[in-house]
Amino acid sequence: MRHPPPPGFTLIELMIVVAVIVILGTVAVPSYNEYIRGVHRADARAGLLQAQQWLERAATANGVYPTKLPVDLTWARDSSKRYTISLDSGNTTEAYTLIATRRGSQIGDRCGDFALTHTGVRETLNLASGTSAAECWSR
């Protein structure tokens, strides 16, 4: 008389499932983290553009660029925990450079820091090798 096999999973079947989950995790987690860093980069770029708009409006109203950003200037999704936006006017009211500096979880980001000048030139500072500035500004 044959007994039916006991219900449930064998140890081998469970190990195969665990191996598949680990393989999927090693692929999915880095991709997800890069996606999130890209979202924060987009927020920083939007913040630079908002600060630039404020500076241009102030220059239109006053005839000169301000030498500092207002404290209450808010920007896209409040990414202030990941980037700090600062104004480098070089002690002149005729030109400026806005810089978004990485902070917190963005410090290791391959795209580095973003800069935007009064002429609209977009730069990437501290860029990792093998990464292009155009790629970082477009994503």
pLDDT at 62 exceeding the cut of 70: yes
Q: What is the pTM of this model?
A: 0.77
Question: Tokens in use for 77?
Answer: 């999704």
pLDDT at 55 exceeding the cut of 80: yes
Is 4 among the domain residues? no
Q: Which domain holds residue 77?
A: 11-138
Percent of the chain with pLDDT over 70: 93
pLDDT at 75 exceeding the cut of 70: no
Is 117 among the domain residues? yes
In whole numbers, what is the pLDDT of the chain averaged over residues? Answer: 87
For residue 49, the Cα-to-chain-centroid distance in whole angstroms is 14
Is 1 among the domain residues? no
pLDDT at position 77 is 59
pLDDT at 47 exceeding the cut of 60: yes
pLDDT at 92 exceeding the cut of 80: no
Number of domains in the chain: 1
